[in-house]
Amino acid sequence: MHKEIIKDIGEKELIRRIAEYMPTNQTSDDCAYIKTKKENLLINTDLMVEKTHFNNEIISPRDIGWKAVTTNYSDLISSGCIEFIGINIGLVLTPKTEWEWVQELYEGFCEALNQFGGSILGGDCSRGESNIISITAIGFQSKLKLRRNACKPGEVLLTTGIHGLSKLGFQIRTNQINRQDLNLSEELIELSMNAFCRPTPKYKTLKTILQTSEFFIKREIGCTDSSDGFYQAILDLCKESKCKAVIDYQKVPKKDFWPKGQIWDQFYFFGGEDYELLISLPKDWATKLININKEITEIGYFSQGTPSVEIKNYPNKNLDNISYSHF
């Protein structure tokens, strides 16, 4: 008799089954929300596994350290973290790992912490067959909660930045794309390399959201980051909020240097590891936010309906969903 293996059920179904052992809605967001008598906390854990999330041949240990911190902080930000307390670090190292690699890794940790706040609180280490980095990040929850299940029909959908850059940077680093043959602009190459090696969590955007929240009575809004890809992030909002998203392809921010064609649309919609924010807000709040922060773009709206993503005004045939899955 064939027993189910993780490859058969996939990442999303695995999480759904694990969630049955937890309090209700505990896995609807990447962060755990801990209520205390004084300040409420947000806690997040992310893993980076060698040959799955990083390869020493294409990214430096210093950049790996930076990325390990900022990817965790992105999850905290997308839940409404107002201040970072710090991180706990779990390390699994092969016995042949050079001390210089570990030293550079921690330099990268500290560079990110010095820029965004928090400190190294502690951790653990062990040996294994490959190097693994586990970061648990802790921060304070703001008065405004950002949650995947808080989108409402009638609200508009906003995004920060340009998606697909990190995947492009990865493809250039691994020589899967020849930047000379494709005549990619130097600006696009530089942005994609930075997105892949040194992603920047959208803390300034969160501060603008909190600043404008003073004018509105809502204390919970829909939000997630695009670490699993632009399309998947919107779909996750729809599934958790039990509504439908309609996005206008013509409004999706790309800038003039982004190449045209379906393959580039797949990069954009399904790339992943971009750590931009997808936000759901009432129209008047969204307008106020966009007037203050020009990096934010209105790209669509939420409506009643089966959780799904509809792309209007797309010039080619429908996009194939090639979202990343760990298994």
Look at residue 92 and tell me whether its pLDDT is greater than 80.
Answer: yes
Both tokens assigned to 211 = 């600043």
Most distant CA pair in the chain, distance = 61
What is the percentage of the chain residues whose pLDDT exceeds 70? Answer: 96
CATH superfamily of 145-312: PurM-like C-terminal domain (3.90.650.10)
Beta bridge partners of 148: none
**Domain boundaries along the sequence of the chain:** 31-141, 145-312
Both tokens assigned to 166 = 């990190």
Q: Which of 289, 278, 288, 287 is CA-nearest to residue 237? A: 278
d(CA 46, CA 33): 16
Beta bridge partners of 166: none
d(CA 149, CA 25): 9
- DSSP per residue over 156-205, as a string? EEEEES-SSHHHHHHHHHTTSS-TTTTT--HHHHHHHHHHHHS----HHH
Q: What are phi and psi of 107, to 5 degrees?
A: -60, -40
What single letter denotes the amino acid at residue 150?
A
d(CA 44, CA 139): 9
- For the chain, the average pLDDT equals 91
pLDDT at residue 322, as a whole number: 64
Res. 118 pLDDT band, cuts 50 70 90? very high
pLDDT tens, position by position, 23-50: 877 777 889 999 888 889 999 999 999 9
Instruction: Count CB atoms within 10 A of the CB of residue 288.
Output: 18
Look at residue 259 and tell me whether its pLDDT is greater than 90.
Answer: no
pLDDT at residue 175, as a whole number: 85
d(CA 276, CA 294): 14
pLDDT tens, position by position, 195-251: 999 999 999 999 999 999 887 777 899 999 999 999 999 999 999 999 999 999 999
- Please say whether the dihedral angle defined by the alpha carbons of residues 271, 272, 277 and 281, taken in this order, is positive or negative: positive
Residue 39, phi-psi category: left (phi > 0), alpha (psi -120 to 50), beta (remainder): beta
- Please say whether the dihedral angle defined by the alpha carbons of residues 61, 63, 66 and 72, taken in this order, is positive or negative: negative
CATH superfamily of 31-141: PurM-like, N-terminal domain (3.30.1330.10)
pLDDT tens, position by position, 141-199: 999 999 999 999 999 999 999 999 999 999 989 888 776 667 788 899 999 999 999 99
Q: Is 274:165 a contact under the CB 8 Å cutoff?
A: yes
Q: What does the pLDDT average to over 273-302? A: 95
- The Cβ-side half-sphere exposure at 322, using a 13 Å CA radius, reads 15
d(CA 189, CA 257): 10
The answer, as to whether pTM is greater than 0.75, is yes
d(CA 209, CA 202): 11
Q: CATH topology of 31-141 equal to that of 145-312?
A: no
Q: Is 268:255 a contact under the CB 8 Å cutoff?
A: no
Burial class (CB in 10 A: 0-12, 13-18, 19+), 120: middle
Of how many residues is the chain composed?
A: 327
